[in-house]
Amino acid sequence: MNRFSNSLIVINRVLQEYISIHDQIFKPSLRKSVSIPGLFKPIDFGRHFDDLDVLSNKLKEVTISIDLEDQQSDFPVLHDYVAALLAAVEKLHVLCGKLLEKSKGDSSYSMEDYKSDVASYQDMVAEYRTIGSDLNLRLSDLGMQGGMAKPAKTRCLINHLIHVIAGILFPFTFIWATSGVLAAVLLSAITQGIDQLRIYRHYQNEFRVIDRVNGIKEGRSMTFELGSIFQHSQVFIFKVIWYGLVTMLVAWFRR
């Protein structure tokens, strides 16, 4: 998952901005139904046209990055998704340009042409959302395997160092008695509770981001929350036992 994190962050930012522009152009609103000069501002096709051009360039940069890092061969669905999203963004960019010219008085863009362009654009939207569903599932599987059961090496090292240092500094606190064991369990529960919460929140946020590709409010993120709480609890219990034991053993050797 870490290899794709930077690409996913950029893609999500582009996606959020693109969806915002899409909604402003197509989403039904009072200002489109009622024309009152001075009260409802017209759609700023010029600004949307420029913003879509920027988003298109960002997606092209992501595509180049994916190719250079050889992510396409390892995770082709990500490349396919970016390509499909780019096609939709560029189509909306073209459509926005035509609407901009129309708003300036160009009468050559007919309603028939507009409907044809919108139909073609909607096909592209459906395409990137379909690929997005596959991306959603694959990232879900990748996250469940790599995020919960296998903490990062750096985080694992830090966890061990914390409990080793605790055992060295307080050898007579962590003794083989009820009070010592409880102290070790309490320390381990605090440190690993914080660590496990960070892992959980990290992937929870990632799946919320991924849900955006389907245009839904609750999808994989909700499934992740309901299906992974039990698994996170199991990992937490194991870590409390393990790191508590590390603290006890280091304190025993220190004495």
**Residue where one domain finishes, among candidates 106, 134, 162:** 134
Which pLDDT value is given to residue 76?
79
Domain identity same for 173 and 130: no
SS3 content of the chain, % helix, strand, coil (to 5): 85, 0, 15
Which pLDDT value is given to residue 237?
87
For residue 166, is it within any domain?
yes
Q: Taking residues 105-119, what's their average pLDDT?
A: 86
Q: Above 90 in pLDDT, residue 252?
A: yes
Domain identity same for 21 and 63: yes
Domain identity same for 158 and 249: yes
For residue 141, is it within any domain?
no
For residue 241, is it within any domain?
yes
Domain identity same for 126 and 173: no
For residue 140, is it within any domain?
no
pLDDT top residue among 249 and 7: 249
pLDDT top residue among 45 and 69: 45
Full domain range(s) for residue 175:
151-254
Percent of the chain with pLDDT over 90: 25
Which pLDDT value is given to residue 88?
94
**pTM confidence score:** 0.55
Domain identity same for 101 and 42: yes
What is the pLDDT confidence band of residue 158, given thresholds at 50, 70 and 90? confident
Q: Taking residues 78-95, what's their average pLDDT?
A: 92
Q: Above 50 in pLDDT, residue 214?
A: no
Which pLDDT value is given to residue 43?
79
For residue 143, is it within any domain?
no
Q: Above 60 in pLDDT, residue 70?
A: no
For residue 76, is it within any domain?
yes
**Residue where one domain finishes, among candidates 75, 104, 134:** 134
Q: Taking residues 80-103, what's their average pLDDT?
A: 91
Domain identity same for 171 and 112: no
For residue 89, is it within any domain?
yes
Which pLDDT value is given to residue 32?
46
Q: Taking residues 62-80, what's their average pLDDT?
A: 72
Domain identity same for 129 and 227: no
Domain identity same for 77 and 162: no
For residue 66, is it within any domain?
yes
DSSP 42: P
Among 77-81, 100-104, 176-180, 210-214, name the one with the lowest average pLDDT: 210-214
Domain identity same for 159 and 75: no
Domain identity same for 86 and 55: yes
Count up the domains in the chain and report the number.
2
pLDDT digits (tens, 9 = 90+) for 4-23: 667 778 888 898 899 889 88
**Residue where one domain finishes, among candidates 82, 109, 134:** 134
Domain identity same for 57 and 172: no
